[in-house]
Amino acid sequence: MTPEFVTAIGKETIEVILLVSAPVLIAGMVVGLIISVFQAVTQIQEMTLTFVPKIIVVFLVLLGLAPWMMEIMIKYTSNIFLNIPNYIR
């Protein structure tokens, strides 16, 4: 196993992690920004107002994108398992 090979596996792993986690993180960030603007405009400083909508949106995004996320992760994992003989060489 060459250093380039290990680097390629690491690069692919990071790409899969970013691809799977990006929609959830972006949705949470957008909702947080909207709530922050709402709080600044109305001067409401309720702490639960920031957490509850974010939790709900992140849960809904996870629920909606779970099949797609699982498909990506299963493809990646099966690719790793299928190529184990190539990795040993």
Domain annotation covers residue 47: yes
Q: What angle do CA 60, 11, 22 make, to 5 degrees?
A: 15
Within-domain flag for 60:
yes
**CB proximity list for 28: less than 8 A, separation 6 or greater:** 54, 57, 58
Q: What is the tally of structural domains in the chain?
A: 1
Q: Residue-wise pLDDT tens for the chain (89 aa)?
A: 788 888 989 999 999 999 999 999 999 999 999 999 998 898 888 878 888 999 999 999 999 999 999 999 999 999 999 988 887 87
pTM above 0.95, yes or no: no
Structural domain for 68, as ranges: 21-83
The pLDDT value recorded for residue 61 is: 97
Task: Please report whether residue 52 resides in a domain.
Answer: yes
